[in-house]
Amino acid sequence: MDQFQHNSAGYLANHMARLFAAGLARRIQPMGLAPAQFMVLLELWHSDGRTQADLTAALDVEQATMANTLKRMERDGLIRRLPSEEDRRARLIHLTDRARALEAEAKAAAGAQNALALAGLDEAERATFTALMRRVIGNMQRG
Amino acid sequence: MDQFQHNSAGYLANHMARLFAAGLARRIQPMGLAPAQFMVLLELWHSDGRTQADLTAALDVEQATMANTLKRMERDGLIRRLPSEEDRRARLIHLTDRARALEAEAKAAAGAQNALALAGLDEAERATFTALMRRVIGNMQRG
DNA sequence: ATTATTTACATAGCACGCTATTTAATTGGA
DNA sequence: TCCAATTAAATAGCGTGCTATGTAAATAAT
């Protein structure tokens, strides 16, 4: 008995993700950023001017989730939307100057949170940890 | 570069937790349950008649989060609240017959989701995985 | 060419996490 | 004893995830 609860992989995954999100939120809040916004910015810092559908696929969230996140980011002056030339249904997402200026500081904040989370794990343990998470993710994506 | 994104522990943790939650939600939805409700039920199946504060501590969520989850569970006929004898501020949370009847089926559903997630991992890998998650959780709790 | 399907995106509504605030009861100190 | 501090719980407001549904544009099929 008590095979679930604080022992199950699912509970631990949820708990760990909440702590990651809370820690990141605390670190990037001074920049006016929220965690999901940061994930979108990572994609756009890497390559700007993409479609909503592209961002949705990159972050593996539902289309409606991305639509709402982008609405908040537009409200907060992090992105602008320009009509696509090729497809009049689509609007390409572009970073604002403000969003571009946040890159280094925000990435440093995320790096600090990851460093805290993984403190005391050597390189082999970190590799094992991420490899195991990837396998578990793969299992659930195929299931 | 690209040290974050699909490679960071934080991203993987979030992704994994979302897949766990979605899988569990799909399995317990036919019983009229949602994931956070299931976590509360696990606590109450283990010992019934506890305070909101006790459940809050057991699941490591904020008091307001638990208050809202319990409100939905009362609405859905999963719990009843009876006044505490010792403390007139507190109301003890009790399972309904309906909630008691769901124990075996809901635990089986959660077990199936965990089995899917951990498929292909042997016992040593599973132990390593949960131990690493616990260490990472500990790091962030102390940080 | 017209119709049907698919695709891109928006919106509504809900679950669940958070912080901040309020109310009522209890406890502790002067 | 009375007042201050703490504690139990509720509520408001928001971010982020989901499903379901609607609308307009593009593509495919007849």
> In angstroms, what separates the C-alpha of A93 from chain B's closest C-alpha?
18
Positions in chain D where some atom is under 7 Å from a protein CB: 7-13, 15-21, 24-27
B85 falls in which pLDDT band (50, 70, 90)? Answer: very high
CB A75 within 7 Å, strand C = no
Q: For residue B5, give the nearest of A58, A10, A57 by alpha carbon.
A: A58
Tokens 């904040």, residue located = A109
Mean pLDDT over residues B56-70, rounded? 98
B7 falls in which pLDDT band (50, 70, 90)? Answer: confident
CB contact under 8 A, A15 and B60: yes
Q: Which of B1, B20, B43 to mutate to test the interface with A (most CBs of A within 10 A)?
A: B20
Token duo for residue B112: 């199936």
Closest amino acid to nucleotide D11 (CA–C1'): B64
- The pLDDT, as a whole number, for residue A4 is 53
Token duo for residue A40: 């979108």
How many whole angstroms separate alpha carbon B48 and alpha carbon A138? Answer: 37
How many whole angstroms separate alpha carbon B53 and alpha carbon B66? Answer: 9
Asked if the model's pLDDT at residue B51 lies above 50, the reply is yes
- The pLDDT, as a whole number, for residue A5 is 62
Nucleotide with minimal C1' distance from the CA of A69 is D16
> In angstroms, what separates the C-alpha of A55 from chain B's closest C-alpha?
12
- The pLDDT, as a whole number, for residue A143 is 86
Class of residue B132 by CB neighbours under 10 A (exposed 0-12, middle 13-18, buried 19+): buried
Which of B4, B12, B23 comes nearest A140 by C-beta? B23
SS3 for chain B, per residue? CCCCHHHCHHHHHHHHHHHHHHHHHHHHHHHCCCHHHHHHHHHHHHCCCECHHHHHHHHCCCHHHHHHHHHHHHHCCCEEEEECCCCCCCEEEEECHHHHHCHHHHHHHHHHHHHHHCCCCCHHHHHHHHHHHHHHHHHHHHC
- The pLDDT, as a whole number, for residue B53 is 98
How many whole angstroms separate alpha carbon B143 and alpha carbon B140? Answer: 5
Q: How many CB pairs under 8 A join A and B?
A: 156
CB contact under 8 A, A4 and B120: no
Computed over every residue of chain B, the mean pLDDT equals 95
Please indicate whether residue B143 or residue A61 has the higher confidence score (pLDDT): A61
Nucleotide with minimal C1' distance from the CA of B76 is C15
- The pLDDT, as a whole number, for residue B50 is 98
Question: What residue ranges define each of the domains in chain A, with the CATH number in brackets?
Answer: 8-32+102-143 (no CATH), 34-101 (1.10.10.10)
Q: For residue A4, give the nearest of B59, B137, B39 by alpha carbon.
A: B39
Contact A133, B12 (CB under 8 A): yes
Token duo for residue B98: 């309906």
Q: How far is the CA of A53 from the C1' of D27 (A)?
A: 18
CB A64 within 7 Å, strand D = yes
Mean pLDDT over residues A53-65, rounded? 98
Contact B17, A17 (CB under 8 A): yes
- The pLDDT, as a whole number, for residue B6 is 72
Q: What is the pLDDT of residues B110-135, one digit of tens each?
A: 999 999 999 999 999 999 999 999 99
Q: What is the pLDDT of residues A38-52, one digit of tens each?
A: 999 999 999 999 999
- The pLDDT, as a whole number, for residue B3 is 46
Asked if the model's pLDDT at residue B1 lies above 70, the reply is no
CB B62 within 7 Å, strand C = yes
CB contact under 8 A, B140 and A133: no
Q: Which of B7, B8, B126 to mutate to test the interface with A (most CBs of A within 10 A)?
A: B8
Asked if the model's pLDDT at residue B4 lies above 90, the reply is no
CB B87 within 7 Å, strand C = yes
CB A84 within 7 Å, strand C = yes
> In angstroms, what separates the C-alpha of B2 from chain A's closest C-alpha?
8
